[in-house]
A = this chain, B = another copy of it.
Amino acid sequence: MGEFELIDRFFKRGARHADVGIGDDCAIWTPSPGHQLAFSADMLVEGRHFLSTVNPRDLGHKALAVNLSDLAACGATPRAFLLSLSLPRVDESWLSGFSEGLFELADAHACELIGGDTTRGPLNIAITVMGETPQGQSILRSTAQIGDDIYVSGHLGDARLALEAFRGNLSLPQTAFEQARGRLEGPAPRTALGCAMRGLATAMADVSDGLLGDLGHILKASGVGAQLSVSSLSGLMLTTDAWACPREWMLRCVLSGGDDYELVFTAPQTARDRVAAVALAFGTPVTRIGSIQAGRDLQLLDESGADVPNTFRSFDHFA
């Protein structure tokens, strides 16, 4: 199978919103009047971001999900993406599963594949995604205000738990393992929640490298500090009901786990009812975990208000 047959068979579909989709030198797209564009790019490398044993369908899902999560973090509606794919060989079964997982998620978000590249080489998946927000309504990291509440969406820490189980560092009961594995391999980008936070959240980021690291980006960009309540974190793991995670593991996974693809955001205290209403409307749990403070420090406080030493590190590919 040649390069163009591969594209035709697994990736080319008729243009939908695009003026010109796959098959010309460029894709051509007419942006919506009165909107800003949001762009993000993520690259997934075998052995680094995923195990070679991962189901290709899950991988196709995840490769796009991590990009949609970045759009969600800016409150952007997904529109289109480009896929560059380096493959060691043409494996039709793999390509079939990968493209199915990819398109299932893309279609669910009306995000159209408009272009890309295929080449031979070590397995590498590079996606660039494009979304839109009404002019001036993008939600940035740099606009958190002192006194704001800090929230996280959904569940944190389970993906890291699954990774530790895969690595043999801990043993989980089957139910908890399957739940955790689902979070690692099939993250659901919080697109609807992110878009609903336009005009409500003061700052937002997605949690991909660990909560402390990603909240840290908001604090640094906004020039503020934060207090987090450790007691608010204990219910964040999805697996909590199926398995009593030791506190030390729980803190490590929730605070610096990575691969969560949830949203961390700030909002004024006066907006608590509206935040709760949005969470309810979109069926996404939202947990208030702390508040923005003057200064630059990120403090962890236990139930009695005492400092918990912060020894947690977020993920860094080159550290």
Contact = CB atoms under 8 A, between A and B. Distances in A.
Contact of A2 (B43, B206, B316): B316
A13 interface: no
Given A20-B138, A138-B19, A26 B39 contact: yes
Contacts of A73: 25-26
A121 B2 contact: no
Contacts of A4: 316
A29 B141 CA distance: 16
Copies of chain A in the complex: 2
A259 to B, nearest CB: 14
B84 A126 contact: yes
Nearest to A70: B25
A205 interface: yes
A74 to B, nearest CB: 4
Contacts of A142: 24
Interface stretch (A112-120, A148-156, A283-291, A304-312): A112-120
B26 A138 contact: yes
A319 B3 contact: yes
A33 interface: yes
A90 B316 CA distance: 13
A230 interface: no
A38 B43 contact: no
A114 B164 CA distance: 35
A19 B43 contact: no
B141 A24 contact: yes
A141 B25 contact: yes
Nearest to A263: B25
A16 interface: no
A120 B25 contact: no
Contacts of A40: 25-27, 82, 115
A27 B128 CA distance: 11
A117 B28 contact: no
Given A19-B36, A29-B36, A120 B318 contact: yes
B318 A42 contact: no
A280 interface: no
B31 A37 contact: yes
A89 to B, nearest CB: 8
